[in-house]
Each structure stands twice: as C-alpha cells, then as structure tokens.
A and B are shown apart, each in its own frame.
Chain A
Amino acid sequence: MKLFIGQILPYFTVTIFILGMIYRLGRWAGAQIVHNITLSPWPQTKGQAALRVGTEAFLFRNLFIYDKALWAGALLMHFALLNVLIGHLVGFAFFGTQFALIPGLGITTELSKAMSDCFGSIFGIVLFVTLLYLLYRRLAKEAAKLVTKPSDNLWLLYLLVLVGIGNIMRFVPNYHIDYVLVHDYVTALILFCPVVHMELLNNGFFLVHLLLVQILLIVFPFSKLMHVFGMFAERYIVNRVYHDPAPGLPNVDVSAARQAELGIPDGILQGRGYK
C-alpha cells in the first residue's frame, strides 16, 4: 500500500494530470469562435475587458449582484481553497518561515511559524465550513436542487473528506506531521529516489490524504473542476472589446433640409431643388 500510494502512484498521477489537461484544453481550443457573441455593454479597451474578467474571477462579481448568499459561500470557499493550496506549496518549501523572508517587515522565524500555523488553521476550518454550506445549499435550495446531479454532491463530499482529514492532521497532535518530513518526501519523489521506508508513510491519515489528493488530480481534467479554466475560456468569448460603427448619414445636412422646409406642404417638395 505504502509502496503503491507513496511511491508509484504519484508518477502516474502527474502524467495523467498533464496529459488530461492537454486533452481537455485541446478539445476546447479545437473548436472556434465562429461568430461575435460578445455581451453588451461592451468593454471599450483591453484593460476594461481584463477588469471585467478579473472581477468575475477574483471577486465573483455576478454572484455578488444576483445572489449574495451564494456569493459569500462560494467566495469564502474559493479564497480559503486558494490559500490552502498556496499554503501547502509554500509551507513545504519554507517550513513556515516564509513570512520571515519578506524583507522589511521584521518578522522573526518564530513569529512566522506561528502565523503560518494560524493561517493554516483558519483557512482549513473556513474551507470545511463553506464546503458544508455549499452542500447544504445544494440539498436545501430549490433552484440548486433542481440542477444538481449526483456528481455535484459527490464532489462536495469528496472535498469535505479530503479537507477533513487534512484538518485532523493539523489539529490532533498525535497525527500531526512536520513540514520537514513532507519536504523530504516530495524532494525524494522529484529526484526519483525511494521513499517507501519513510516514517511519514506510516501515518494512515497522511496516506489517505495523499491518495485522495492524487485521485483528485487524476480526475480533475475530466471533471467540473475544470471551470477554473472554463471561466476564462468562456469570458474570452463573451467579454470582448467592441466598437460601434460610427453613426452619421451620408449626404445629410439637417439644417439645410430644415431651412428648405422639406416635407412642409407648399414648401420646396422633398428631393427637388435640394441635394
């Protein structure tokens, strides 16, 4: 088991993830933007278009306008998720000392570790709670219920378990895992060194967490989670710069026409004596 999950599977995971992404994004790229279907009112500059897409991507603008509750839940969930993902990478690389590395803030290594712990805990909990809320919403709210497929609920459950186990490792001292161990593990994997002997893999929670993450990555390119990229791809089609063709009618001089009293009976009749 340790051999499979800890040593062999990771290489498969990474390969399938990369190939899967290429396949899925390639499938999108293969189809064309046939007609101009940009939504009006249009951005007038590339900057405005980027701003529009940016506010959708990072602030969930439309959710905010049309459904505040969903906005709060979804934004918090994604924000926590983003931080947890970054936290994983940075944590394993710098063991929690990352904040001390920012020049000019005067943060000590001790403080940085404490901060890292604190943020990790907060976002771990927020992520779990907001995922619960989103699941509750799917089961309770009429409109959400009517559009939900089993896989939508399963994804939320899956992430809840994944995040739940992560939280257990963080909050239950017996199962706690030191960053250093993970750092060594990942480094060894990257260098294609054997890792099966590592003490880390004896932690059952870690092993399951690792397995779930890998399954997630394998399935990711074939799942609804691709909306991260889908959103940019779609907005690239519907939020484009467009300039109206200039108004103005050829050979029309309104003041001359009015002076000639065109259209007024007994005046100069339309089309005659006037060009």
Chain B
Amino acid sequence: MPEYKGMVQPARASITELRKIHIEPVPDELKPGKAVEYLDQLRKKFRSFVLAMESCTKCGLCAENCHTYLGTRDPNNIPTNRAELIRKIYKRYFTLEGRWFGKLVGAEDISLDVLEQWYSYFYQCSQCRRCAHVCPFGIDTCEVTFIGRQLLHWLGITPKLHSTTGAAMEKTGNHSALPKPGIVDTLEFMSEEIRDEFGVEVEFPVDKPGADIMYIPSSADFLLNPYTLMGAGMFFAYIGANWTIPSTVTEAGNFGFLFDQYSTQRGNVMRLLNAAQELGVKKIVWGECGHGWRAAKMYIPTLADRPLRWPITHIHDEVANLIRNKELKLDPLQNSKPVTLHDPCNYVRACGLNENMRVIMNACVTDFREMNPHGADNFCCGGGAAILFDDPEMYQRRIMFSKKKAEQVRATGVGEDGDGILCAPCSICKAQLYPMVEEHNLGVEVKGLIDLVGRSLVWK
C-alpha cells in the first residue's frame, strides 16, 4: 500500500514477516485503543518524549532546518508538525488543556487515519536530529519518531524493509542474510583484490580465537562498499593488529534502534556481547555505519543486560589517533581527486566524530573541500533511519529528501569535471547516495573514509 489518502507510505511487512520478528499484529478495530494504551506506557517512560510533547513553543525554527521539509514542502514534514501528529493525540488523552480545550490547542481523537499518518510521516523522518540541533530548547523530534515507530511496530505496522532486515539479523547475524561460508569466501576474494590492486598481503581472520580486537564491519561492505572493508583490513594489517571478524555478528548496523528499541535492538546488543565473550577479545572496533555507531556507542551502555567488559571505539577514532601520534604513513597523492565530506548525522550530532573525520581526511587527500554547512550543522543525505524504500512513491521522496544534499555537493564544485569524490562514511548514506548522485547528476563517486585511508597507506 504505497499510498493512503494522498500520503506516501512504504510497503508493509506481511503477517508472516512480522511473526519472524515476534510481533503479532493487532486487529484493525482494536488498533486505535491499543495505540493510546501503548502511548500511555511509553510517555511514562521517556522524558525526552514528554518534553517534546510539552515544551514546544511553535516558533517554527525547525522547519527550514529539516531536509525533508526543504525537499518536499509538505507541512507535515516540519519537525514540530511531525511531532504534532502524536502530540494531538497526547494532548487529547493525557493533558487537561487537550481534554478541555481540544480544538483550541489542536487535540484530536485517535483513529485509524491518524495511525496511517504516523506510518507515512515517521517513515519520512531520517532521525537525523538536525531539528534538535537547531531548536532553541533542544527538542528532539527524533525521539518522537522513535516512539511513533515503536508504537506502530507493536501494532503490527512495520515496513517490509525494516522487518525483513531485522529477521535476517536474527537468523544470520547480518542484514544482508550472508551465511558464514559466503562471508569467508568474500573475504578471501577481498584479500586477492588487495594483492592485485595494492600489492600487499592482507588476511581477514574470521572467528580467530585469542584475537585482541573484534572488528564489526557493516554487512553492506561485503557487497556494496568493498573498498571500505578492504581499507579496514589493510589498516589492521598495516599496524600489525591481532584482529578478527566474528562470523556471528557481521553487521555494524542495528535496525532495532530505528524501529524497535526494546526487543530487536536489545537482542542485537546481546548477540554482540556474546560474540566478544566467546572470542575473548579485549576491544571492539566499529566499522562505518552511522545509526549503527550511535546505537553501539550511546545505547549499548543502557541496553546491555550485564556489565560491559569491552571498550568500544570507532575505526575512525583509532585511525585518527594513530595519525595524531604520527604512526601512520599516508600519501595524500594517492587520493588527488577533489573530495568533499558528507557528515553522517549520527556521527556528528550524536557521536562526536566531527573532528576525527577531518583529521583523517586532511591526512589522506590533497584537495578536500568542506560543504556548507558542515560538521554538526550538516544536512542529512535523506536516507537516514533506513528509509531506503524502493517503492516508486517512496523512491521519489528519497530524491526530494536529497535535494538539499545535492545543492551542497554542487556548491563545492568537486564534481565539476565529473571526477569528484563524495565521501560519505556510513552505509546508509552510501546506499542513499549511490543512486542519488546519479539522479541529481553530481559528477561524483561515493566512497567511504576508510576507503581513502586504505588507498593512501604507505607500506614501505
């Protein structure tokens, strides 16, 4: 059902697909009542949500700062209006002013139509937090989107993309449903590629007992972004690390974070910790994935059901640290095409990776051009929170959501001669931008940051 009363919507998971992620859909006639019940439960738990519901002054500042509104001019894509889709229900059922002065303050009764609105607009939000970043109060509409999606999920309204990805993770330990033999094969193939292209010997140890470092790549790096994984392998080989990739968790992403922060996200966290314990590693290093890194860095401490024994850092942190200590020899001339950096939202507004990415960038390319705005102020690619839907209506929206990004890239001029590089070190950013740079004719190739590191390592 890609459209409902004029609203675009992603294709939904079937009952069978929902059952694979342990959800029993609520029958339609019970949905509105259950929605209010679940909302009551959630609002009593999350203060960030309560404050988003209760302290917005409707100043409108967030409007021009959300790429979804900029790209579509759909009023419901203004962050505070997106939140209002739940707020009107929240007011109606949980506040005095809403119960007594309904219309005046914009309160509304719950109905199936409202749930359909939620489904449409909470899956147009990329949870990028630019609204929280600019709001005078720091109101985080991303928190509202989390709650909205959680609630819909409990009702049995979940996109096919998210539910099948969640199920694949549970079954195989990655989003791409790659079994262990496939992983090992792919890694051997990458070793050969590296030997052919860079002339160096790099092994990708899988499930190596006694390894010190457990590296968690994004599974998209096995298929779509091989140079990111190859870059990571070259980096670890270069520094002589005793590292391994666990075959049970070959996924830096955690879709649970995006639509089910209770069961799905926690399940993935426990799976990771089990892997670390079994392999007896000392440290976990994360690969390039924006939401996955936020989920790991900021949420594992509050989701792990047991004491955390492993420090977790991002591969960018480690590379930047070695660059700062002058331990890596990098040759920027290996990356001499003009490069601009798309800051993955989760890195710069939630994980503080801003500076480290620039330390790396400046060390391994010759012609780095910042986009405007950049860093914590940068705009989202338009695919965040895995709204990478391929249904025609949603795909059209994705083009609109990336309009701002396209303008920014164009303004840097890196693609003028058709040979620029758009560095976007996050798997979802990459998946969104591969087609989008073509749609917008930007003349750039999309790459990860570790790709550039691998290419510029000086081995001898």
Task: Give residues in A with beta carbon < 8 Å to B.
Answer: 24, 27-42, 56, 60, 62-63, 65-67, 70, 74, 141, 143-144, 146-152, 154, 222-224, 226-227, 229-231, 233-235, 237-239, 242, 244-258, 260-265, 269-271, 274-275
6 contacts between A and B (CB under 8 A): A35-B261, A36-B299, A37-B298, A67-B61, A143-B78, A264-B460
Tell me, in angstroms, the Cα distance from A149 to B75 when the chains sit together: 13
Known: A246-B311, A263-B202. A35 touches B57 (CB 8 A): no
Q: Among the listed A32, A65, A233, A249, which residue makes an inter-chain contact with B45, where contact means beta carbons less than 8 Å apart? A: A32
How far does the Cβ of B433 sit from chain A's closest Cβ, in whole Å? 22
Query: Is B410 on the interface with A (CB-CB < 8 A)?
Result: no
Query: Is B334 on the interface with A (CB-CB < 8 A)?
Result: no
Query: Is B16 on the interface with A (CB-CB < 8 A)?
Result: no
Query: Is B46 on the interface with A (CB-CB < 8 A)?
Result: yes
How far does the Cβ of A7 sit from chain B's closest Cβ, in whole Å? 27
For residue B460, which residues in chain A have a CB less than 8 angstroms away from its CB? Answer: 261, 264
Tell me, in angstroms, the Cα distance from A242 to B352 when the chains sit together: 9
Extra contacts besides A143-B61, A150-B106, A261-B460 (19): CB < 8 Å? A31-B49, A39-B350, A40-B352, A66-B134, A147-B81, A147-B84, A149-B106, A152-B57, A229-B55, A237-B48, A242-B352, A246-B311, A248-B318, A249-B212, A249-B239, A251-B212, A251-B241, A254-B322, A258-B329
Tell me, in angstroms, the Cα distance from A246 to B324 when the chains sit together: 14
For residue A235, which residues in chain B have a CB less than 8 angstroms away from its CB? Answer: 137-138
Query: Is B54 on the interface with A (CB-CB < 8 A)?
Result: yes
How far does the Cβ of A192 sit from chain B's closest Cβ, in whole Å? 29
Known: A238-B140, A254-B239, A269-B201. A222 touches B51 (CB 8 A): no
Q: Which one of B30-38, B97-105, B361-369 is at the A interface?
A: B97-105
Contact between B213 and A238 (Cβ–Cβ < 8 Å)? no
For residue B143, which residues in chain A have a CB less than 8 angstroms away from its CB? Answer: 37
For residue B321, which residues in chain A have a CB less than 8 angstroms away from its CB? Answer: 247-248
Contact between A62 and B61 (Cβ–Cβ < 8 Å)? yes
Contact between A151 and B240 (Cβ–Cβ < 8 Å)? no
Contact between A39 and B129 (Cβ–Cβ < 8 Å)? yes
For residue A230, which residues in chain B have a CB less than 8 angstroms away from its CB? Answer: 51, 54-55, 137
For residue A32, which residues in chain B have a CB less than 8 angstroms away from its CB? Answer: 45-47
Tell me, in angstroms, the Cα distance from A251 to B54 when the chains sit together: 51
For residue B60, which residues in chain A have a CB less than 8 angstroms away from its CB? Answer: 141, 143-144, 146-148
Contact between A31 and B201 (Cβ–Cβ < 8 Å)? no
Q: Which B15-35 residues have a C-beta within 8 angstroms of A?
A: none
Contact between A249 and B201 (Cβ–Cβ < 8 Å)? no
* Residue picked from A226, A227, A245, most chain B C-beta under 10 Å: A227
Query: Is B354 on the interface with A (CB-CB < 8 A)?
Result: yes
Query: Is B320 on the interface with A (CB-CB < 8 A)?
Result: yes
Query: Is B339 on the interface with A (CB-CB < 8 A)?
Result: no
Tell me, in angstroms, the Cα distance from A245 to B242 when the chains sit together: 20
Tell me, in angstroms, the Cα distance from A9 to B104 when the chains sit together: 25
* Residue picked from A40, A60, A154, A255, most chain B C-beta under 10 Å: A40
Q: Among the listed B48, B55, B137, B203, which residue makes an inter-chain contact with A270, where contact means beta carbons less than 8 Å apart? A: B203
Tell me, in angstroms, the Cα distance from A263 to B106 when the chains sit together: 65
Tell me, in angstroms, the Cα distance from A224 to B97 when the chains sit together: 10
Contact between A36 and B302 (Cβ–Cβ < 8 Å)? yes
How far does the Cβ of A13 sit from chain B's closest Cβ, in whole Å? 16
Contact between B133 and A265 (Cβ–Cβ < 8 Å)? no
Q: Which B86-134 residues have a C-beta within 8 angstroms of A?
A: 95-97, 101, 103-106, 129, 132-134
Query: Is B327 on the interface with A (CB-CB < 8 A)?
Result: yes
For residue A244, which residues in chain B have a CB less than 8 angstroms away from its CB? Answer: 313, 317, 352
